[in-house]
Chains A and B, each alone.
Chain A
């Protein structure tokens, strides 16, 4: 049962990684939601005893290798966002989904800001308002991600993992 649960989480994360690099039309590119961060966020909220900042850091590192950013950039940003989620998972779970969206947006703002800041230090100029589009699209999509992943969890991951 435990293997099945781990496999399920791995598959959802791989799907999220896939969605991160799938080609989109040029106008939609800037609006691409932060799929991986959303998935990590969900699993930390749903199974906080098993997943936390460690998972977030590992996935962040994979994301660094995938997108070719400096090693550790996404890992750091993801750890920050995951820390918020893990720290207050009991509070966040109390809210209705649409209010969770706001908190997700807040955590992702932290995520994007960390990346923005790292790029600034490395000398890559920030690109204005487009930096913040993914936060909006991610927050809007959070309820759907939540519902889909909850269905996946109920179907494949038993309550006592």
Chain B
């Protein structure tokens, strides 16, 4: 009879609640530390290395198809492409010639103004892994990690403009937050008149929002937005977006201004890591080499 009283059909397991509670507390502590400090970079790096094979497998078909396309491209196609690339290289070189003299002139003028000289940066190519992360966040994964010099906060460009910045880095991969991510804000200035503001991500891959411009701000459709260099994260003077709509809001404090990113977000296979923005970063990069 005693045994019968103890018997319970749907008896919950002992200690389950305690265990779950401890794990919940542990997750909350982790989140708090991860959100406010950088202590967990090592742990995240280790975890990201553990899951790297999964990313590799998911990326493999795309990588394979690209290799196959290269392997089996006809002689004619390659020749054609080569000729085209050669032509664009000559054009780019010609532009660069002019740029160099302009740069020298700029440095001289800055010296006359007693302003600090610009530190020229250099870039390195990194491939994008074709994996889908959170659909609500605009993130990409790169096949380049801290062993090749990638570091937290590093600006990422492509051939057309600013792409975003590195937010997580592991030894072999890194994650980039695009400028269109809802959590992203990039300090920009209007190239025409130097008016500075912030361009905030909207969660739409084709749109940035400029929410802090007053109704009478001097901004027009078609204006080019370049990085202002304020905040010290992005280098100065790189193109970001072009203004597509300006709608003054008579009743509100700020106008509604939207812009389209110039970088080919979501269409790139390769991006550029920007080095030399901070001395520490370039030192770290040299050590990495």
Interface residues of A (CB under 8 A from B): 14, 17-18, 21-24, 29-30, 32, 48, 52-54, 57, 60-62, 64-73, 75-76, 79-80, 82-83, 86-88, 90-91, 118-119, 122-125, 127, 130-131
Contacts and interface: CB of A to CB of B under 8 A. Distances in A.
Contacts of B203: 125, 127
A142 B32 CA distance: 33
Interface string B1-43: 0000000011011001101100110111111001100001001
A90 B10 contact: yes
Contacts of A53: 16, 19-20, 23
Contacts of B47: 61-62, 64-65, 71
A71 B31 contact: yes
B58 A22 contact: yes
B223 interface: no
Contacts of B10: 88, 90-91
B153 to A, nearest CB: 15
B30 A75 contact: yes
A65 B20 CA distance: 21
Interface of B: 9-10, 12-13, 16-17, 19-20, 23-24, 26-31, 34-35, 40, 43-44, 47-48, 50-51, 54-55, 57-58, 62, 130-137, 139, 141, 167-168, 175, 182-183, 203
Contacts of B35: 70, 122
Contacts of A67: 133-134, 139
Given A17-B51, A71-B40, 15 more contacts: A21-B132, A23-B130, A52-B16, A53-B23, A62-B50, A64-B47, A66-B55, A68-B133, A68-B168, A69-B134, A71-B47, A72-B27, A72-B31, A83-B16, A87-B13
A90 to B, nearest CB: 5
20 contacts: A23-B62, A29-B132, A29-B135, A53-B16, A65-B47, A65-B50, A67-B133, A68-B134, A70-B34, A71-B34, A72-B31, A75-B26, A76-B27, A76-B28, A79-B27, A86-B16, A87-B17, A90-B10, A91-B10, A130-B136
Q: By CB atoms of chain B within 10 A, which of A24, A32, A124 has the most? A: A124
B31 A66 contact: no
Contact of B54 (A14, A82, A83, A90): A14
B135 A32 contact: yes
A103 to B, nearest CB: 14
Nearest to B141: A68
A155 B72 CA distance: 42
A109 to B, nearest CB: 17
B58 A18 contact: yes
Q: By CB atoms of chain A within 10 A, which of B12, B23, B44 has the most? A: B23
B211 to A, nearest CB: 13
Contact of A52 (B19, B27, B40): B19
Contacts of B54: 14, 17-18, 21, 66
Contact of B51 (A24, A52, A66, A130): A66
